Amino acid sequence: MTVLKQGGEGLFLDGTLGGGGHAHALLTACANCRVLGVDKDPRALDRARVRLEEFGTRIRFRQGSFHLAVEDPEVRKEGLAGALLDLGVSSHQLDDDSRGFTIRPGAPLDMRMGEEGATAMEYLAEVSERSLIRDLTRGDAPKPRPLARSVVRRRQSRPLKTSDDLVGALEAALRRPATHAEKARTFQAVRIAVNGELDALGDALPAIREALRPGGVLVVLSYHSGEDAGVKKAFRDWSDPGWGIPAKVPLRADETAALGDTLTRRPVVASDRETELNPRARPARLRAWRKAS
């Protein structure tokens, strides 16, 4: 919250509202702040409405992808003092086996953040081997080529419907029992593909940048190397004094075309104490950027 509040008071976007923890902390700490909370998951919004009821009209809710939030009339009129994107899956989604995010045995292969689009089962039944290799590679799955071949071979006899089926395909590709980390990386890669998460993030970053008012701050919490790499590159490019200017065009020492400045030279990671209290925070990487005034 300390970094986010550098944008001053006003309207903030919580682009991945989840259980409403970040929004609650911001609204509690800043009496003159308001939040637009966005989430694809209608069940998450229902929970957040209950938790944040005390803040009345200072919090508004919208279902959908965070990159669409910039179309909100209030955002267009006022601009954002700050925006927070906490990427990945919420604890509620991970703990609910019916949502299909978990590697626990017997869970259905769903993995959708919301209620629209193809499930993981449908995706694995229809995706081409070439596209699956690409998606597994982008998602950091182990052995993406053998794994894609294993999925395609197995689905010819019966569809992959449960977590056990996907783990079976992984272990066939590895030719040995999979570790917990290998299972988690495989499920993460499929989830990212099912929800189009990397593409959505790529669309969202410049759109939210434009929606920030001068001096506004964008904070991103990522849990996957591909996400973090995309955020890092965007913030670095936007902070470049020669942003958008051909290399042959000289700049005076006092000139800059930078759109803002990166507030985190290195990603901020969870402390040992934080990971002890919440092991799921261990892979989190926080980066922050501030728009030029």
Q: pLDDT tens-digit profile of 24-40?
A: 999 999 999 999 999 98
- Residue 173 in domain: yes
Mean predicted lDDT score pLDDT of the chain? 90
Choice between 104 and 270, residue whose per-residue pLDDT is larger: 104
Residues 214 and 264 grouped into a single domain: yes
Q: Is residue 115 part of a domain?
A: yes
Q: Do 226 and 256 share a domain, yes or no?
A: yes
- 80, 222: one domain: yes
Pair (245, 114) in one structural domain: no
Quick check: is 92 in a domain? no
Using the 3D structure, point to which of 160, 195, 230 is the last residue of a domain.
Answer: 195
161/245 same-domain check: no
Quick one: three-class SS letters along the chain? CCCHHHHCCCEEEECCCCCCHHHHHHHHHCCCCEEEEEECCHHHHHHHHHHCHHHHHHEEEEECCHHHHHHCHHHHHHCEEEEEEECCCCHHHHHCHHHCCCCCCCCECCCCCCCCCCCHHHHHHHCCHHHHHHHHHHCCCCCHHHHHHHHHHHHCCCCCCEHHHHHHHHHHHHCCCCCHHHHHHHHHHHHHHHHCHHHHHHHHHHHHHHHEEEEEEEEEEECCHHHHHHHHHHHHHHCCCCCCCCCCCCCCCCCCCCCEEECCCCCECCCHHHHHHCHHHCCCEEEEEEECC
Q: What is the pLDDT of residue 255?
A: 58
Same domain flag for 204 and 168 = no
Domain that holds residue 174: 100-195
Q: How confident is the model at residue 63 (pLDDT cuts 50, 70, 90)?
A: very high
Same domain, 269 and 249: yes
Q: Which of 195, 226, 257 represents a domain boundary (last residue)? A: 195
pLDDT of amino acid 7 = 75
Structurally, the chain folds into a number of domains equal to: 2
* Per-residue pLDDT reduced to its tens digit, 141-151: 999 999 999 99
Q: Assess whether 190 and 217 both reside in one domain.
A: no
| Mean pLDDT, range 248-265, rounded to an integer | 75
Q: Is the pLDDT of residue 262 over 70?
A: yes
Indicate which CATH number applies to the domain containing 209.
Answer: 3.40.50.150
Please indicate, yes or no, whether residues 45 and 169 belong to a single structural domain of this protein. Answer: no
Indicate if 117 and 130 belong to the same structural domain.
Answer: yes
Mean pLDDT of 158-181: 97
